[in-house]
């Protein structure tokens, strides 16, 4: 069984808060070979607790590998300049973009899918080196669940309520997300 963890699960374990104990149980199941934990590589591009971003993918990879004894599978997202690490992404085709856009429209219908359209709508200069945090966060969340779907994950584990909404959850499942569970639910499902 492939379990995909979102960024909040990783942060909980690092800080020892929230759902940390449940996520640690999932890592124990992973180390015992009962499940395979996957982490979308886009998590490296998410803002860290101190408001900064990892300078290198290696920095992120070291943080992740401390969480388990067994290797954690990293899922490469589609390439987006200014967001992903170039050695840790893939080129996408039309079908991949179509799924990504559907995921985005389910999770963030009020945010424009393309950066250029979002920037124009919100009066942001295209010459700005920094992407708007709201758009960037939506893109990272979209690419996290996209990666789970693309790489055939069985359970997407997150405590982000946006993924658990009554309208979003079944729509994402229909796209191939299968189950979306809170960490405690995932532990109960695997146990």
| DSSP-assigned letter for residue 157 | E
pTM, 2 dp: 0.93
Q: Into how many domains does the chain fold?
A: 1
Which of 120, 121, 160, 156 is CA-nearest to residue 138?
A: 160
Residue 137 lies in domain:
2-190
pLDDT along the chain (191 residues), means of 10: 96 92 98 97 81 80 91 95 89 96 98 95 82 92 98 97 95 97 98 91
66 contacts 169 by C-beta, under 8 angstroms: no
| DSSP-assigned letter for residue 113 | S
Q: Looking at residue 174, which CATH number applies to its domain?
A: 3.40.50.1010
* Contacts within 8 Å (CB) and 24+ apart, 78-82: 78/143, 78/146, 80/139, 80/143, 82/131
Residue 47 burial (CB count, 10 A): 14
């Amino acid at each position: 069984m492939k379990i995909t963890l979102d960024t909040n699960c990783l942060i909980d374990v690092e800080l020892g808060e929230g759902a940390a104990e449940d996520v640690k149980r999932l890592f124990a199941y992973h180390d015992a070979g009962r499940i395979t934990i996957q982490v979308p590589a886009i998590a490296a591009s998410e803002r860290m607790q101190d408001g900064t971003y990892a300078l290198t993918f290696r920095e992120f990879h070291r943080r992740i590998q401390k969480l388990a004894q067994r290797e954690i599978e990293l899922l490469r997202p589609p390439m987006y300049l200014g967001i992903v690490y170039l050695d840790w992404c893939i080129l996408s085709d039309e079908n991949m973009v179509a799924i990504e856009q559907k995921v985005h429209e389910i999770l963030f219908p009020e945010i424009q899918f393309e950066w250029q359209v979002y920037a124009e709508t919100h009066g942001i200069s295209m010459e700005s080196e920094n992407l708007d945090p709201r758009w960037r966060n939506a893109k990272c969340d979209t690419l996290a669940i996209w990666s789970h779907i693309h790489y055939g994950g069985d359970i997407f584990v997150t405590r982000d309520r946006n993924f658990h909404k009554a309208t979003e959850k079944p729509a994402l499942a229909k796209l191939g997300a299968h189950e979306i569970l809170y960490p405690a639910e995932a532990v109960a499902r695997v146990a």
